[in-house]
Amino acid sequence: MRNIKLTIEYDGRRYLGWQRLGDSDKTIQGKIEGVLKQILEEDEIEIIGSGRTDAGAHARGQVANFKTENEMSLAKMTELLNRYLPRDIIAKKVEEVPDRFHARYNAKAKKYSYYVWDNMIPSAFEGFHSFYYPEDLDMEKMQQACQKLIGTHDFIGFSSLKKSKKSTVRTIDEIAIDREDDLLHFTFVGEGFLYNMVRIMMGTILEIGAGKLPLSAIDEVFAKKVRADAGMTVPAQGLFLDEVYYNESIK
């Protein structure tokens, strides 16, 4: 058995997210598995993703792995995947990795981007991959909000989870804001993220920047662990999974 690692790029607008559902033709996982079964001529192939992405969210560096007995070369596998996959899903890299590599369990950290269109006039192009939020944003307050979110905290109040048997403590290593003309680019790097956590942190940062929430709201959410005290859940179209980090020894 070979263990194959995929690095995948996709535009999520047409899909119901990463995870295969009953109608797998509308998920990223389902589309890729369908093509792999076709080109490798195997009845059962299951790809394991580093994690789920929401309906409508995108990826520049989603990682997945699967097992196969087929001896097809990696170059041929890459060529056929990109020939038969829809044009909005691309296999950027196909590698053979050690048998113990697991895309989800071995992930050590992830990097996400979120884009906000910061102009009163919307964009015909950027609107597909960013959130149009026509508010007067205080950059200094947003920077302060980012600093409050960095570190190790219980982020249950910044997630859509009602409750969890597993720990909801996570460590955020970096949150940065960059401006590219009218486009604000927010970067989140951390060991892991809860369901909708990036989108709710992002909504909280924006509402603080717009003066709709006080900076102290972040402390309140950490203290009370109540989702309603945080900001909105921003739309998925501005969210990108940029990179998944692994230990060098298991790549």
**Taking the CB of residue 31, how many other CB atoms lie within 10 A of it?**
21
Query: For residue 31, what pLDDT is reported?
Result: 95
Cα–Cα dist 54/44, whole Å: 25
Decide: helix, strand or coil at residue 11: coil
In 3D space, the residue among 201, 213, 211, 192 whose CA is nearest the CA of residue 239 turns out to be 201
Query: For residue 23, what pLDDT is reported?
Result: 58
Q: Could you confirm whether 23 is annotated as catalytic?
A: no
Q: How far is CA 129 from CA 237, 240, 244, 245, in A?
A: 5, 9, 20, 24
Cα–Cα dist 249/115, whole Å: 33
The catalytically annotated residue of 54, 178, 181, 229 is: 54
Query: For residue 60, what pLDDT is reported?
Result: 97
Q: pLDDT per position in the chain (251 positions), as tens?
A: 999 999 999 999 999 999 887 756 799 999 999 999 999 999 999 999 999 899 999 999 999 999 999 999 999 999 999 999 999 999 999 999 999 999 999 999 999 999 999 999 999 999 899 999 999 999 999 999 999 999 999 999 999 988 778 899 999 999 999 998 999 999 999 999 999 999 999 999 999 999 999 999 999 999 999 999 999 999 999 999 999 999 875 55
**H or E segment and range at residue 227:** none
Q: Which two tokens stand for residue 201?
A: 């942190």
Asked if 130 and 237 count as a contact pair (C-beta separation under 8 A), the reply is yes
**H or E segment and range at residue 15:** none
Query: For residue 63, what pLDDT is reported?
Result: 98
**178 Cβ neighbours under 8 A, 6+ residues apart:** 184, 185, 187
In 3D space, the residue among 153, 134, 224 whose CA is nearest the CA of residue 194 turns out to be 153
Query: For residue 249, what pLDDT is reported?
Result: 53
Alpha helices (H) in the chain, listed in sequence order: 28-40, 74-84, 139-149, 197-209, 217-224
